[in-house]
């Protein structure tokens, strides 16, 4: 395990970047830029053409820029540590940032957890590092490991990271969560658990670090705050449209819940959905802030359905708001992680 872990921590990550920008043409600036191994200038425009990537007169299967690359796509300018590989995919440019784990993390910690005390940022750095080094299969069939969106972890390259996030990554360098001090599994995080987390198995059907734990202290969730409670009211017929079913029968019944109180399975207008199917169909139609978690109760009138929920996010692993509140009370990163990943240990030790 130690050798394997050292290998995982040393291996660069492959992060698909700027896919949302639908890049047809990018501007690259770097100390070294090559077209299928042949040197180009230090500042080039690469463009998708029918069969390859066009850079001036050159036709390239792959353009590689590094180390540290300024990438401009439309109005978006990002600086990426490591190398950026540009190739053609479905008429567009595919940008892959090949980056060291420790260079990738500051932007992630900054985007995912800024504003907290240093212990909360350090806990986030360790969870995000564990997530990243176990992410090999997240986009494996498309030939990379991570995307730069919330699906994996939000990543915007260098430059966007706060000094606090940089410091948290440095202080926890190479530390990951290991179950029982031995086994490496993906570690997840979410915004607020509403008083109880869920296991990754219940949430994603995937083995991960962290069991379902209570996040209540003195009778109140640690993640208490303006974000804790939410309501969502919807016309039943609109909900039926979102779920592609006929609006007859009960609008929503929860059939099964996990130990964290999250809905695992619902029946809506006579059709069964997993909790994840339900939240993703509803999110697509009414926005991702409509139903913020699967921890909700329902009430119906003749025409409307009302959901009252608590917490935001999937509920597996680290509760970020809870971590923030623990950090504010002086709990260190190790103490925070022990609450949400009680069976895990930090490795390697600092
Ligand atoms: Zn992803
Ligand atoms: Zn919580």
Q: pLDDT tens for residues 109-137? A: 999 887 889 999 999 999 999 999 998 77
- Long-range (24+ apart) CB contacts under 8 A made by 277-280 are 278/243
Under the banding of pLDDT at 50, 70 and 90, the label for residue 1 is: low
- Predicted structure pTM score: 0.92
The answer on 184 and 165 residing in a single domain is yes
Residue 216 Cα to ligand 2 midpoint, Å, equals 8
The answer on 112 and 93 residing in a single domain is no
Residue 139 Cα to ligand 1 midpoint, Å, equals 7
Residue 138 Cα to ligand 1 midpoint, Å, equals 6
Residue 333 Cα to ligand 2 midpoint, Å, equals 16
Ligand positioned closest to the Cα atom of 137? 1
Residue of 311, 274, 273, 265 lying closest to 291 (CA atoms)? 311
SS3 state at 56: coil
> Which residues have beta carbons under 5 A from ligand 1 (an ion)?
147, 151-152
User: Is pLDDT of 221 > 50?
Assistant: yes
The answer on 84 and 108 residing in a single domain is no
Ligand positioned closest to the Cα atom of 149? 1
User: Is pLDDT of 194 > 70?
Assistant: yes
- Do the domain assignments include residue 215? no
Percentage of the chain with pLDDT > 90?
Answer: 81
Under the banding of pLDDT at 50, 70 and 90, the label for residue 6 is: confident
Q: pLDDT tens for residues 43-71? A: 999 999 999 999 999 999 999 999 999 99
Residue 81 Cα to ligand 2 midpoint, Å, equals 33
Number of neighbouring beta carbons within 10 Å of residue 174: 16
Q: pLDDT tens for residues 14-24? A: 999 999 999 99
The answer on 320 and 184 residing in a single domain is yes
User: Is pLDDT of 318 > 50?
Assistant: yes
pLDDT at site 141:
84
Q: pLDDT tens for residues 279-313? A: 999 999 999 889 999 999 999 999 999 999 999 99
Q: Are the CB atoms for 28 and 71 separated by under 8 Å?
A: yes
How far apart are alpha carbons 169 and 159 in whole angstroms? 15
Q: Which domain holds residue 33?
A: 15-99
Under the banding of pLDDT at 50, 70 and 90, the label for residue 350 is: very low
Q: pLDDT tens for residues 153-175? A: 999 999 889 999 999 999 999 99
The answer on 186 and 107 residing in a single domain is yes
The answer on 49 and 38 residing in a single domain is yes
Q: In what order do the strands lie in the sheet with 58-60?
A: 58-60, 53-55, 43-48, 25-29, 69-73, 76-80
Residue 312 Cα to ligand 2 midpoint, Å, equals 9
How far apart are alpha carbons 7 and 11 in whole angstroms? 6
Residue of 186, 121, 119 lying closest to 335 (CA atoms)? 119
């Amino acid at each position: 395990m130690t050798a394997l872990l050292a290998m995982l921590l040393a291996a660069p990550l492959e992060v698909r970047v700027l896919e949302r920008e639908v890049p047809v043409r990018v501007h690259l600036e770097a100390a070294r830029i090559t077209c299928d191994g042949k040197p180009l200038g230090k500042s080039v425009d690469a463009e998708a053409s029918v069969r390859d990537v066009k850079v001036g007169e050159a036709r390239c299967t792959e353009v590689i820029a590094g180390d540290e690359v300024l990438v401009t796509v439309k109005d978006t300018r990002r600086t990426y540590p490591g190398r950026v590989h540009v190739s053609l995919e479905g008429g567009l440019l595919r940008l892959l940032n090949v980056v060291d784990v420790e260079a990738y993390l500051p932007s992630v910690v900054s985007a995912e957890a800024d504003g907290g005390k240093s212990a909360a940022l350090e806990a986030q750095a360790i969870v995000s590092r564990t997530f990243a080094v176990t992410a090999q299969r997240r986009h494996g069939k498309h030939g990379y490991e991570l995307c730069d969106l919330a699906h994996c972890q939000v990543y915007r390259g260098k430059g966007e990271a706060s000094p606090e996030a940089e410091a948290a990554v440095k202080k926890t360098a190479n530390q990951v969560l290991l179950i029982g001090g031995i086994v490496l599994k993906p570690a997840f995080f979410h915004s607020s658990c509403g008083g109880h987390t869920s296991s990754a198995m219940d949430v994603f059907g995937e083995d991960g670090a962290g069991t379902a734990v209570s996040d209540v202290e003195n009778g109140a969730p640690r993640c208490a705050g303006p974000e804790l409670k939410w309501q969502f009211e919807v016309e039943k017929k609109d909900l039926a449209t979102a779920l592609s079913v006929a609006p007859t029968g009960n609008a929503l019944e929860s059939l099964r819940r996990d130990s964290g109180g999250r809905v695992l399975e619902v029946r809506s207008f006579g059709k069964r959905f997993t909790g994840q199917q339900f939240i993703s169909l509803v999110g697509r139609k009414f926005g991702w802030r409509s139903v913020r978690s699967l921890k909700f109760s329902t009430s119906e009138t003749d025409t409307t359905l009302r959901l009252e929920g608590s917490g935001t996010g999937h509920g597996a692993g680290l509760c970020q708001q809870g971590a923030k509140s623990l950090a504010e009370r002086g709990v260190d990163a190790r103490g925070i992680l022990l609450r949400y990943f009680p069976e895990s240990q930090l490795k390697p030790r600092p």
